[in-house]
């Protein structure tokens, strides 16, 4: 590990309500599930905790309610060593909730009610701009109001920060914020959706590269496509390369994208090259999917160092 990474995460906190079933019900149908659990979540919070466990100096800017779930968020983030001095609490909306459904293969789908996350406003970013100024890397997702994301990304880019934009949940009409991103990190479905394609459309590698370069023309330096068990593809204007994944038996893929983005931010903040940082992020993502739920599955730096040391080629 090089110098300590300073990371600010701007985004969501949601309570995760998780259940497992062999399949999802059809409309009007009830199916039996098992293993219900309630756990902290939300892409912003997950990424903040993941970055802190990996050794980053982490600040989290978001908005939660004044309900019990909000109190739980404060306790959890504090215990994980995340700076929450700029965390807003709304008296208007309840803390966000994510309903996570897992099948027997560990695949997931999620319904999110953002709640108080939509109360994080541009003026709150102005009040918290010191948290951006203190960071090497600023990390964003799309579970907050788009105007707030745009405002904060522009502020971070104007301060010459490395800006990682994780376009999840995916949406179209992102042209107004892509110019402020240094790196964009969609998975395959998210890249298709943000490019106006159907998420179930089958594409070749060359077609994914073409879509990524359409995104690049709007301002970012590179698009990093996460490919699950196939690793990640890094696409720049004049080159591309693939970082292979570490093959593991996945138990729960819910937190893979969040841990990948957090690891990428930490590694870049430490001064690692983009290729080194993506390799590290792929290893962290692989480690995360072998555990149950998100927060319990996120590795510490010691755990991921040991995990990487026993892989072919050792630690990179």
**Above 70 in pLDDT, residue 1?**
no
Nearest CA-CA partner of 261 in 312, 186, 181, 158? 186
CATH class of segment(s) 6-25+35-309: alpha beta
Q: What is the pLDDT of residues 113-152, one digit of tens each?
A: 999 999 999 999 999 999 999 999 999 999 999 999 999 9
The mean per-residue pLDDT over the stretch 286-306 comes to 92
Please tell me which residue in 57, 83, 124, 258 is annotated as part of the active site. Answer: 258
> Could you tell me which residues are annotated as the binding site for ATP?
187, 226-231, 257-258
Please give the Cα distance from 93 to 206 (Å, whole number). Answer: 44
More confident residue, 254 or 235: 235
**At a CB cut-off of 8 Å and minimum separation 6, what does 225 contact?**
185, 186, 187, 188, 191, 208, 212, 232, 233, 234, 235
Query: Is 258 designated active site?
Result: yes
Res. 314 pLDDT band, cuts 50 70 90: very low
Please give the Cα distance from 166 to 8 (Å, whole number). Answer: 14
**Above 90 in pLDDT, residue 157?**
yes
Cα angle vertex 7, ends 297, 17, to 5°?
35
> Could you tell me which residues are annotated as the binding site?
42-46, 143, 187, 226-231, 252, 254, 257-258, 288, 291
The mean per-residue pLDDT over the stretch 256-264 comes to 97
The mean per-residue pLDDT over the stretch 29-57 comes to 95
> Could you tell me which residues are annotated as the binding site for substrate?
42-46, 143, 258
Res. 2 pLDDT band, cuts 50 70 90: low
Nearest CA-CA partner of 14 in 120, 85, 86, 152? 120
Range list of H helices, 128-198: 129-133, 146-158, 188-194
Domain boundaries, the chain: 6-25+35-309
Please give the Cα distance from 59 to 192 (Å, whole number). Answer: 31
The share of the chain scoring above pLDDT 70, in percent, equals 98
The mean per-residue pLDDT over the stretch 261-289 comes to 96
**Above 70 in pLDDT, residue 168?**
yes
Task: Supply the pLDDT for residue 315.
Answer: 41
Please give the Cα distance from 60 to 26 (Å, whole number). Answer: 38
- Averaged confidence pLDDT in the chain: 93
Task: Supply the pLDDT for residue 185.
Answer: 98
Whether residue 259 contacts residue 266, with contact meaning beta carbons closer than 8 Å, is answered with no
**Above 80 in pLDDT, residue 106?**
no
Record the tokens describing residue 174, joined without a space.
């992102």
> Could you tell me which residues are annotated as the binding site for K(+)?
252, 254, 288, 291
């Amino acid at each position: 590990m090089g110098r300590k990474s300073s990371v600010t995460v701007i985004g969501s906190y949601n309570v995760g309500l998780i259940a497992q079933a062999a399949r999802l019900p059809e409309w009007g149908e009830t199916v039996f599930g098992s293993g219900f659990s309630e756990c902290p979540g939300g892409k912003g919070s997950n990424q903040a905790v993941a970055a802190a466990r990996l050794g980053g100096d982490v600040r989290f800017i978001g908005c939660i309610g004044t309900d019990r779930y909000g109190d739980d968020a404060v306790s959890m983030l504090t215990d994980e060593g995340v700076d929450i001095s700029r965390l807003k609490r709304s008296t208007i909306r309840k803390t966000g909730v994510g309903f996570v459904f897992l099948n027997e293969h560990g695949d997931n789908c999620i319904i999110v009610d953002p709640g108080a996350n939509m109360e994080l406003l541009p003026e709150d970013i102005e009040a918290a701009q010191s948290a951006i100024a203190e960071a090497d890397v600023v990390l964003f997702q799309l579970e907050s109001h788009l105007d707030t994301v745009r405002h904060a990304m522009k502020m971070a880019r104007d301060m010459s920060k490395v800006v990682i934009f994780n376009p999840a949940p995916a949406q179209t009409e992102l042209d107004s914020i892509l110019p402020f991103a240094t790196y964009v990190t969609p998975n395959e479905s998210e890249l298709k959706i943000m490019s106006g394609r159907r998420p179930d459309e089958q594409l070749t590698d060359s077609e994914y590269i073409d879509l990524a370069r359409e995104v690049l023309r709007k301002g970012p330096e590179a698009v990093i496509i996460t490919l699950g068990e196939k690793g990640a593809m890094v696409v720049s204007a004049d080159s591309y390369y693939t970082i292979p994944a570490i093959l593991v038996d996945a138990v729960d893929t819910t937190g893979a994208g969040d841990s990948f983005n957090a690891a990428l931010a930490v590694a870049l903040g430490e001064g690692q090259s983009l290729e080194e940082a993506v390799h590290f992020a792929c290893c962290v993502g692989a480690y995360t999917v072998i555990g149950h739920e998100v927060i319990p599955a996120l590795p510490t730096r010691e755990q991921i160092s040991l995990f990487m040391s026993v892989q072919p080629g050792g630690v990179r």
